[in-house]
Amino acid sequence: MKNKTLGEFIIDNQNDFPGSTGELSKILSSIRLAAKLVSHETNKAGLAKHILGAAGTENIQGEQQQKLDVYADHQFIEALKAREVVCGIGSEENDDFVSFDEEKCKKGKYVVLMDPLDGSSNIDVKVSIGTIFSVFERCSAIGNPAELKDFLQKGVKQVAAGYVIYGSSTMLVYSTGNGVNGFTFDPSIGVFFLSHPNMKFPSSGSIYSMNEGNLNHCSAEIQDYISFCKGNNTATKKPYTARYIGSLVADFHRNLIKGGIYLYPSTTTAPNGKLRLLYECSPLAFLAEQAGGMAISDKGRVLDIQPEELHQRVPFYIGSKEMVKELEVFLQGGN
């Protein structure tokens, strides 16, 4: 039996969202289009010199922008602008939020936050990379330009979130608050097909993902937890397995399917950790909870954090609920 396409799935489920007027569907369709374009360029990056390597510019994080970063940022912004239902974008690649000031866009009910190409330092070495996106209803007056407060909303208020992983195949995984579904792209006909319906985090697992090169600069609680992961764990009768790709979307996706936990703690040199709340942690936390998993920071649930600035960083722990709860005991000094 032919699997449902993403387009069919969006239409079939668009009335699940209270007050749905089809605008959220337009956002998801525009993300689908941009994902196809980025997937195409990513998969030929090794051949097309114009798309490889550094763009010679830096983003606000002081990170070298890759040509594909800039390309992906442009494609998602243009696709979202064209649907005239989004009034503005917040992106890792842009210092400030981008307000769409075309009259029809100002009437848009939604704003989108995104990391257009997360893990892009891995492009040149053929490691999976990804796009992460988060959708909110605006809280400023419809008809006016987007305002910063539209973007600084708690993650619990997201109306949709998801990611695209450009790996051995391209997948789009998203939720509008009614569970998580994954769609695999068939490039031969340019269609995403429902391949992973109703995705659920295994309640536990034995994979931990962390850059242990930072361990000596982490808190004693984190160092104790990593020692626990390496020790003889009576329940599993063996130490946990370390898997760290260095591409958040890839590490998250693997843990969502196999079970596991991803950690990016604060360190003495990065007291708020590395990952950005609004377009990395919050959307993945929304997905994790929709899939029965859990996502916390040093001060509790990620989705309850009140953002204070667009590119705010937070310590981030996400994955199988039992594993995150196990870590939480260490963070609270209770081990």
Give the footprint of ligand P6P on this chain (CB under 6 A): 118-119, 121, 211, 246-248, 251, 274-275
Please, which residue, 40 or 243, has the CB nearer to ligand P6P? 243
Residue 12 CB, nearest distance to ligand P6P (Å)?
32
Of the pair 71, 100, the CB lying nearest ligand P6P is at 71
**In the complex, what is the shortest distance from the CB of residue 33 to ligand P6P, in angstroms, rounded to a whole number?**
24
Quote the least distance from Cβ 254 to ligand P6P, whole Å.
12
For residue 309, give the DSSP letter. Answer: S
As a whole number of angstroms, the distance between CA 264 and CA 55 comes to 27
CB 267 within 8 A of CB 214: yes
Tell me whether residue 39 or residue 247 sits nearer to ligand P6P (CB atom): 247
Torsion of CA 46, 163, 250, 171, to 10 degrees: -70
Question: Which of the 8 DSSP states describes residue 5?
Answer: B
Residue 123 CB, shortest distance to ligand P6P, in Å, is: 11
CB 313 within 8 A of CB 62: no
Closest to ligand P6P by CB, 233 vs 241, is 241
Q: Which is nearer to ligand P6P, 108 or 155 (CB)?
A: 155
DSSP three-state, residue 85:
coil
Residue 292 to residue 88: CA distance in whole angstroms: 31
**For residues 296 and 131, is the Cβ–Cβ distance under 8 A?**
no
Distance CA 263, CA 251 (A): 10
Angle at 314 between CA 136 and CA 323, to 5 degrees: 95
Shortest distance in whole angstroms from residue 118 CB to ligand P6P: 5
Q: By the 8 A CB rule, do 302 and 275 touch?
A: no
Report in angstroms how near the CB of residue 275 gets to ligand P6P at its nearest: 6
CB-nearer residue toward ligand P6P: 247 or 320: 247
